[in-house]
Structure 1
Amino acid sequence: MDTLDAQRDVDAARMRDRLKCYVDLETPSGHADALDALLDLIQDRYAGLGAAVERHARDTGAHLVARFPGSDGGHDREPVLCLGHHDTVWPTGTLTGAVPWVEQDGFIRGPGVYDMKGGLVVLETALELLAERGLPHRPITAIVVADEEVGSASARDLVAEHCAGAVAALGFEPPHPDGAVKTARWGSTRVRIDVTGREAHAALAPEDGTSAIEELVDQVLAVRRLAEQHPDVLCNVGTIGGGGRTNVVAGRAWCEIGLRFTDTGTERAVLAALDGLTAHRSGAAVTTEVLTSRPVWPEPGADRALTGVLAEAGEHAGQRATGRPASGAADTNLTGSLGVPSLDGLGPVGRGAHAPDERIVAASLPERAVLTAALLSRL
């Protein structure tokens, strides 16, 4: 197979135009109509590249499954699973406000260019390259989900279903800042703690009340002490609320906590302890609910065959392709936890995920497409 070259084999301007088209359609998580409008374009693109496509409707936006047949005698082989998402963290209006589309000094800036509409363009361009160059490849199943940024609650079963029989899973999230792909991910769990107390007049009869806020404060301190017992656990109380008036003992309070884990054993121990929280005060009740959970994707052991294939693909594309673990979570947490050999971070190089300086290196769009095509043709 001839060596692939980004400048020769890829129309970079076309990739840029496609990305701008996707970014112009703002797609906040949960905005089903906006998400489905972008999915229409992606579906048409995949169908035009020869895929059998199907939509899975959900209240918060549909998911897409596209099945590309294998080539050169590979039709009956196990498929490669490719994962992406089209929702972003940015509210409607960001494009005309805080984060406009800007092309300057070799960068493209805009809401979702890095996380991860650029990755979607990389994937579809790689699929186009496979067809144009007649490169042999296995069947490819691409799944584009609508709620990744809020935990993929409605897509989890769909992704898990397609892990069965997959020879590998590739994610098109952003890479590490130096372009290295991601070979493992920490587990990520969002937990909500709800406290019910008993309301009473804060001055006339405080003894008749039980403060849900004071109980919650003690529960948060207990969670912090629990996290400190496990140095590798990250714990962040992200939101908190409760009460109503300063002259009323608070009857309700709540908080949401983000937790990150490096290993499954610690994850299970911490979540079991949170599930067993009990009230310190008479008249108070505490409940714990897991809102979303992405399991630990552990580092590969002695068998690092997939990273070896990545290195070969990089050499064929004239690139140095390496990988290492990441602390962030994504849908590849699930594929990796289920034992499917996985890589993530095949999207364009850049910075600023979820931040106002979100941007990509424009030249990395065609480079990552060429790397992905080389990788798919070698799996």
Structure 2
Amino acid sequence: MSLLRQLVEIETPSGDTAASALIADVIAERMRELGGEVVLHETSNGVNLVADFAGSGEPLLLVGHTDTVWPVGTLAGRVPWSIVDGVVRGPGAYDMKAGITVMLAALSRLQGAERRAVRIVLVCDEEIGSPTSQQLLREATDGCAGAIGFESPHPDGALKLGRRGSVRVRVDVTGRAAHAALDPELGVSAVDELVDQLLRIREFVAAPELQPVLCNVGTVSGGTRANVVPDAASAEIGLRFVNAETEQTVLDWISSLDPVREGAAVSAVRLSHRPTWQPSAADDALLEQVRAAAGAVGQQIGARPAAGAGDTNLIGSLGIATLDGFGPAGGGAHAVDEHFRVESFGERIELLTALLAL
């Protein structure tokens, strides 16, 4: 638990390159002590880390991230570090520095013993869509037998087998400014056009022939004053998909939006994209390996799809055997109630140790 506390007390909001470098150095030092060959990759958002641990067979890829949603100062304010009644709290403790610590604890237990080969990838910008690390994740899968993500599990501790696709899109509208009272007919309202486009999008994604789509208009902006016809407006939309076919249909349609009114222009910009990960036979086979390891240490493991997205979306969509949710059980991710249970933390270390042991 001392290493976990050290990691939590290095506050690492996405994009804080100095903090990212610091936590990467701490983790890299511990990995080298455990026999890992570590490579650090500096990016505009921080430092990504890849470590290989020699062993038998094709490596099992363990995936995590070092960034959190919390700004610096949270630890001294709303979310202090604490362990009370078997519950651990702290910014990023649950999402997902506990998961990183599980990886290192299992490797420590197996130091000097026969075990399977392991590759670890820890990215610095998962919480903002992994913009600098997706290619690194693709490359890290090369030659791997499968991948396990160390995000939090379902509330009951079940693993995540499949994830919805997640896309953030910004719809931009331009119009023509004019005085709203003296010559409104000369103007083209970008705000009115945006409203109409958002209604069209909602209607399209609700079509019964599509698989269910979650559509959330997260931000809307535009205009300057009530007496000026606005010439610019935009909205950021979050979309979630249960299958790749619906995802492609919706994204193609949004990318070809036509203006409703003459004189307006509409465009769509994809801000981030995590493809749909639909469970496969390979995923099921990996799950059976995990269940066998769980049985060996007296545990039972469930698994089901998850609505949230993460780096395993990309890996699972590539057809690589994938599971996620290997972090300890708890709750409050991205909230001031962020926490996990010490008991589950120990169970996850036991489970990973059993999975890696030969």
Q: Which whole-Å CA distance do the structure 1 matches of 2:31 and 2:335 have between them?
A: 30
Change (3 A) 1:302 1:127: closer
Deviation by residue 1:177-199 (Cα, 9 ceiling, x = unmatched)? 11111111111111111111111
Change (3 A) 1:159 1:302: closer
Q: Which whole-Å CA distance do the structure 2 matches of 1:214 and 1:332 have between them?
A: 39
Q: Which runs of 5+ in 2 are unaligned?
A: none
Residue number among 166, 172, 179 corresponding to 1:194 in the alignment: 172
Residue number among 18, 26, 30 corresponding to 2:3 in the alignment: 18
Matching of residues 163-242 of structure 1 within 5 Å: 163-229=141-207, 230=210, 232-242=212-222
Give the conservation status (yes or no) of the 8 Å contact 2:166–2:241.
yes
Q: Which runs of 5+ in 1 are unaligned?
A: 1-15
Alpha-carbon deviation of 1:86?
Answer: 0.5
Matched, 1:350 2:330: yes
Matched, 1:295 2:275: yes
Alpha-carbon deviation of 1:231?
Answer: 5.1
AA matched with 2:257: L
Give the conservation status (yes or no) of the 8 Å contact 2:283–2:322.
no
Counterpart residue number, 2:258: 278
Deviation by residue 1:325-359 (Cα, 9 ceiling, x = unmatched)? 11111111111110110111110110011111110
Counterpart residue number, 2:115: 136
Q: Which whole-Å CA distance do the structure 1 matches of 2:179 and 2:99 have between them?
A: 56
Give the conservation status (yes or no) of the 8 Å contact 2:161–2:283.
no
Counterpart residue number, 1:6: none
Matching of residues 26-45 of structure 1 within 5 Å: 26-45=11-30
Secondary structure, in 3 states, of the residue corresponding to 1:304?
Answer: helix
Secondary structure, in 3 states, of the residue corresponding to 2:58?
Answer: coil
Q: Which whole-Å CA distance do the structure 1 matches of 2:15 and 2:283 have between them?
A: 39
Moved over 4 A (4+): none
Matched, 1:159 2:137: yes
Alpha-carbon deviation of 1:300?
Answer: 2.1
Give the conservation status (yes or no) of the 8 Å contact 1:234–1:260.
yes
Counterpart residue number, 2:354: 374
Give the conservation status (yes or no) of the 8 Å contact 2:213–2:240.
yes
Q: Which whole-Å CA distance do the structure 2 matches of 1:345 and 1:376 have between them?
A: 17
Alpha-carbon deviation of 1:34?
Answer: 1.3
**Root-mean-square deviation (CA), in Å?**
1.3
Counterpart residue number, 2:124: 146
Counterpart residue number, 1:327: 307
Structure number having the greater strand percentage: 2
Matched, 1:55 2:40: yes
Deviation by residue 1:255-298 (Cα, 9 ceiling, x = unmatched)? 11111111111010010111111111111111101111111111
Residue number among 110, 115, 121 corresponding to 2:95 in the alignment: 115
AA matched with 2:119: T
Matching of residues 77-88 of structure 1 within 5 Å: 77-88=57-68
Give the conservation status (yes or no) of the 8 Å contact 1:310–1:322.
no
TM-score, normalized by length of structure 2? Answer: 0.97
